[in-house]
């Protein structure tokens, strides 16, 4: 089944948010602003994944489907 345009858009946005969150996490220990960005991305990603689950959305991108937002809360060095 071909994904809808809306699903493709949602996956692209979530992927970009995860990438940005990972970049912010890499600098979060040294920069309070980056830590704030990380927390904002965490909230957005968590909410989007929860809503997708409630709505029965199955991500085509299996890496996105398997991504656990709680991993963002681990220090970058510990998560690597």
The reply to whether the predicted model has a pTM over 0.75 is yes
The domain locations on the chain are 17-74
Residue 7 has pLDDT above 90, yes or no: no
| pLDDT value for 79 | 58
- What are the backbone angles phi and psi of residue 68, rounded to the nearest 5°? -105, 110
pLDDT digits (tens, 9 = 90+) for 44-74: 999 999 998 898 888 899 999 999 999 999 8
More confident residue, 45 or 10: 45
The residues near 61 (Cβ < 8 Å, ≥ 6 apart) are 11, 15
Give the residue-averaged pLDDT of 29-37.
Answer: 95
Model pLDDT, residue 80: 53
Separation CA 60–CA 11 (nearest Å): 8
d(CA 59, CA 64): 7
């Amino acid at each position: 089944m071909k994904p809808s345009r809306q699903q493709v858009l949602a996956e692209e946005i979530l992927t970009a948010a995860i990438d940005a969150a990972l970049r912010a996490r890499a600098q979060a220990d040294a920069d309070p602003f980056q830590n704030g960005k990380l927390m904002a991305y965490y909230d957005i990603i968590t909410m989007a994944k929860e809503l997708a689950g409630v709505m029965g959305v199955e991500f085509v991108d299996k890496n996105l489907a398997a991504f656990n937002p709680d991993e963002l809360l681990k220090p970058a060095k510990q998560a690597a």
